[in-house]
Amino acid sequence: MTRISFGRRRFAVGAAAGVAGLAMPAIAQNEPIKVGVIVPLSGPAGPNGQVVAGAVKVAAELLNAKGGVLGRKLVVIAKDDESTPAVGVTRANEMVAEKVAVVIEGWNSPVTLAMQPVLARADILDITAVSKADPILSGQGNPMAVRINSSNGQDGAVCAEILLNKLGAKRIGFLTQNDAYGNGAQQVIEAELAKIGKPWEKVVVEQFPFKQTDFRVSLANVKQAKPDAVVAINAAESSGMPALIQQYRQAGIEGTFVAAVGTILPTVFRIAGEATTGIVSADIYFPDLPPFDKIKENLEFVEAYRKAHNEAPDKGAALGAAALEVWASAAAAAKSLDRKTVAGAIRGGKVPGTILGDLSFAANGQAQHKHTIFKVVDGKTAKIEAVT
């Protein structure tokens, strides 16, 4: 057994041999199936990517305890994309050389979009765990795309609901990450606001790069615009988003801080603490809340993850683990590891018995989710309450 270090975390990677696979060449019958994971393991999103990679490993161990996939054990190979598209392409080519059966990837949308053509040309199934940009499912980079997380398109409607129907905001500002994820999210939110038909005005837009942590100049401009609510779209949940929240409070901005869907994670609470109180947002997974507290597969995963990491899994962890579950279930149903065959068993269908429940997928490979809107009522204890 080898060990791979991810920052301060260490995850064991098993290499046990499995029994004969179904319809596999004789040379591969006793070999483990290689599962590639490409996420940021260093830099601003490193802690979040480490959680995803660790969760995939936990899911692999649970599957191996039940006999693996097609009678073969799974071995996880994790690589650091450094939140950089060029590095992601290099890591994708390395996974091709490793002859992995599937790659679970994606925290940053620009990295996912850069890697897609590489993996598609190599005929490797590519499942996006987290990255949200809508072009990921356009079919251009990867005609067999599958995404577990909600999309910018799905999230935009929820954000518009929060802004106009829950908060009654009329003067709205945006703090937007200047890339495919951030700009795409803002564009969709604005389109959904227009659909609702209530009057509103865009009073300020401030853009920033993914790695930025000093927002004081931008926040001075936001304060001057006097918004009723400000949408913060920042995927650097271990650095940029906590800094943005703290500096927002220090600036004394009165408008409600509305965090983009899925960006208020445990790392944000740990760093920003009390400053998160009052934030309104939404998400698709809560390990201990309905309906997940009644899903057998989720309870099994939460217990295994707590045992491995001494903490509850966050949404990123659940998405990484669910990505492996979805692939394994589809491969078992199709009795094949062929990329197109397995993708065909996912896209436009339903995959039962995952951490997220019975998961339905649109024809373009997008998982379907129900969002829960919440407000942070105590940032010190990470206490939230549903907004109805």
Give the pTM: 0.87
How many angstroms separate the CA atoms of 121 and 11, rounded?
30
Strand partners, 375: 280, 385
The mean per-residue pLDDT over the stretch 106-131 comes to 98
**Helices 296-309, 315-334: crossing angle, 10 deg rounding:** 120
pLDDT at 28: 54
Question: For 187-241, how does the pLDDT look when each residue is reduced to its tens digit (9 = 90+)?
Answer: 999 999 999 999 999 999 999 999 999 999 999 999 999 999 999 999 999 999 9
Residue 6 has pLDDT above 50, yes or no: no
Supply φ then ψ for residue 173, to 5 degrees: -115, 165
Task: Report whether pLDDT(9) > 70.
Answer: no
- The pLDDT tens digits for 122-147 are 999 999 999 999 999 999 999 999 99
pLDDT at 14: 36
Cα 62 to Cα 17: distance, rounded to the nearest angstrom: 15
In angstroms, the CA 130 to CA 105 distance is: 8
| Residue 97 identity (one-letter amino acid) | A
Segment 362-375 mean pLDDT: 97
**Torsion 161-45-122-29 (CA) sign:** negative
Give me the domains of the chain, ranges plus CATH numbers. Answer: 2-150+290-360 (3.40.50.2300), 152-283 (3.40.50.2300)
Confidence of residue 243 (pLDDT cuts 50, 70, 90): very high
* % the chain with pLDDT above 70: 93
> Is the pLDDT reported for residue 353 higher than 50?
yes
Q: How far apart are CA 78 and CA 61, in angstroms?
A: 15
pLDDT at 327: 98
Of 298, 175, 301, the closest CA to residue 227 belongs to: 175
Do residues 57 and 124 touch, judged by C-beta distance below 8 A? no
More confident residue, 28 or 190: 190
Element (H, E) at 63: helix 46-65
Q: Residue 125: how many CA atoms within 13 Å on its side-chain side?
A: 28
Using 50, 70 and 90 to split pLDDT, how confident is the model at 29?
A: low
Q: Is the pLDDT of residue 22 over 60?
A: no
Both ends of the chain: CA-CA distance in Å?
A: 49
pLDDT at 254 over 80: yes
